[in-house]
Every structure is written in C-alpha cells, then in structure tokens.
Amino acid sequence: MVELVSLALFVVASSVSLFMAWIIGAGSAGATPFAPAVGANAISILRAGLVVGVIAFLGAVVQGESVSSAIGTGLIDGVSLSPVAAVVVLLLAGGLMAAGILTGIPIATAFTVTGAVIGIGLALGGTPAWPKYQEIASVWVLTPFIGGGIAYGLARVLSREWAPESLSIPVLAATVSAVVANIEFTLLGGDGGSGSFASTLGSSLAPLSSHGSLVVTLLFAVVAAALVRLDIRRDEQRAMNRFLLTLGSLVAFSAGGSQVGLAVGPLLPLFDSMAIPLVAVLVGGGFGILLGAWMGSPRMIKSLSQDYSSLGPRRAISALIPSFLIAQVAVFLGVPVSFNEIVVSAIIGSGAAITGGAGISRTKIAKTLGAWVGSFALSLSAGYLLFTIVSMVR
C-alpha cells in the first residue's frame, strides 16, 4: 500500500513538474532569448520557437543543477518541502504563468516560483534564509540597471561612425567567446563535478604553460573574432544576422540552465528520497521546456519582439549580450532569475540609446513592472495561505 501511494505521488509530482516546465518553455525560456532576433527580422517567429526549444533543452541538462538545488533546498531553513507542498508550489506558480501567457503579459517565472516556495516553506514552519534572499534581491534589483546600462552603452557605440561593424562586432564576438570558454559545464567535469573548456583544455597544456586556461581563453577569443570579421567581409548583413542568432542561442542555452530549476527544484527532496539521479530529473524538465517552446512560445515571442519596440540588428545585439552575461552570472551564483526582466531591461536600454525611448511603450513597461512585483507578492501570500488551509484540511 505504501509503495502504491509513493508511486501515485511520484506520478502526480512529475506530471505537475512537466506542466510547469511546459509553461516555462512557452513563456520565459522559450520567448525571451530570440525575441530581439525576431524583432530584428533575423529569424521568423515559428523557426525561433523550434530552435530555442532544442537549445534550451541542452542548457537544462548541462547547466541546470545550480539553480535547481537553490530552489529545492536553499530558500527555507529548517524544513524541506514535502511532496504535497512541492505540488502546491508548482500548481500555484504554473497557474500564474498560464494566466500571463493567455493575457500576453510577461509574468516573471522566477518571481512566482520563488515567492511560492518561500510562502509555503514558512507555512511549514521553516525559517527565512536571509543570506540567500539578500543575494537574490541584489541580482533582481541590479539586473535592470546593469543590463540596461550595458545595452545602452553598446547601442551607443554601435551607432557611431568611428566603430564600424568590421571592427566592433569582431571585438564583441571575442568577448562573448572568452566568456563561453570559462562557463562551467557538468559534462566537462571529472568525478561528477563541472568544468569549463578553459580549465579542461588548459590542463592538457600544463607541460607547456602554467597559464593554460588563459591561453585557451585567448585562443577562443581570437578564433571567434577572426571568423566573424571574415564573415562580415563576405556579407555584412548576413554576418550581423548570424551573430545575432548565435547570441540568441547562447541566451536560450542559459535560459534552459536557469529556468529548469524552477520546474524541478521544488521536487528535489522527493526525487532524492527515491534515489532518482539529478541528470534524469534535468532531462525530464528540459523535455518539458522543449515541448513548451515548440507549442506555446510564438505568442510571447511576438509580444516581446513587436509590442515593446521595433528592433534593428545593432539594438538587438546590444540587448542580447548583457542578457547572456547576466544569465550566466545568475547560473553561477545559483540565483533564480527572470528572463523577462533581463531581456526587457536590455531592450529598453538599447532603445534609449538609439531612439531616445520614442519607440518604447511606457504603458506596456508599467504593466510589466506591476506584473513582476505583483507576481512575487501574490505567490508568496497565496502560497502561505493556501498551504495553511491544506494543512488544516489534512
């Protein structure tokens, strides 16, 4: 009898987690990475949804551990989420996200899941994890200023005659490639750990150089710059579009690595008790994101790429680079972060540099800010009240 109950609980929990992953794929992870590229007419909406699903799946599998662990065990001290509590978390957050997709308002997934976990964790008798909250709050508050500021600066540079694409784009490609060389991937680490291309390949250069990681990083940067410069000489417009799509792919990969934790993180205590490997959990969550991106993301892609403003290639590039950098910092820190917040802030920053804000819908921005703040407050309070009622009924 106990085994049947455990099996039924596992099926229900897994189904709810898959539903949440679908919502994430249809929303933040599926829509935001390629929205600037679609706005710049570098790729169609439907094709963007197909590509982002596959890339986000890969990111979920090889970079999803950090944020998943933070959501599952790092937001509340003293207690672990029970299976019933985890299901309530995902149903509450998924319902809010579904409402956002139906209305076209980009509700922040990270805010809803984080608020729900904290609220329900407090209802369980846990204590606040203040150090983690300070870390999360810092990332959330600074993201619009840092992301928007970097995007503004890049857009200003790219719009100047003294920074032609044949020079500026290869430099940006070198910078992004250097970051990619130092990203931690689960598959590159030994003994179950993680490692980067720079550290893994650099270790093989130990007999030749004591700075192997630096050598590999510089090699990545130089090769990327050379390839992009050669591409620009052949056809500048196509080269810009290809670089833009590459950036969108990197953001999609980062989105998968970050957002999968919002779908599977609350269930980690349950899966750990059943000895289910984390990689299997991440594959399941990544598959849900893939399905959501394929089936539901076009609506949100259109909302972000066309409703906020009309993007050109320079502005889109300026928006995607800080989006990628901030996403990777969040993954490294294990902080759940909203990709709506990241990309929208970058779009606003790049737009202010080129158009002076004339092409940006201030009404839409105000509604989005209200959705971000309201989703966290609502999910936290609703989670606390809802699970308190559930506990009384039980």
Q: What is the pLDDT of residue 272?
A: 81
Alpha helices in the chain (DSSP H): 2-26, 28-31, 35-39, 45-63, 65-73, 83-103, 109-123, 130-158, 165-181, 197-203, 212-234, 236-264, 268-273, 278-302, 313-333, 339-354, 362-393
pLDDT tier, 101 (very low <50, low <70, confident <90, very high otherwise): low
Mean pLDDT rounded to a whole number for the chain: 84
The encoded tokens of residue 206 equal 């130990």
pTM of the model: 0.88
Q: Are 355 and 314 in contact (CB under 8 A)?
A: no
Q: What is the pLDDT of residue 12?
A: 82
Mean pLDDT across the stretch 302-319? 71
Q: Write the pLDDT tens digit of every residue in 147-173.
A: 999 999 999 998 887 788 889 999 999
Nearest to 273 by CA among 6, 4, 2: 6
Q: What is the pLDDT of residue 8?
A: 77
Mean pLDDT across the stretch 253-276? 88
Alpha helices in 32-129 (DSSP H): 35-39, 45-63, 65-73, 83-103, 109-123
127-128 and 76-77: which strand pairing? antiparallel
pLDDT tier, 4 (very low <50, low <70, confident <90, very high otherwise): low
pLDDT tier, 391 (very low <50, low <70, confident <90, very high otherwise): confident
pLDDT tier, 177 (very low <50, low <70, confident <90, very high otherwise): very high
pLDDT tier, 229 (very low <50, low <70, confident <90, very high otherwise): very high
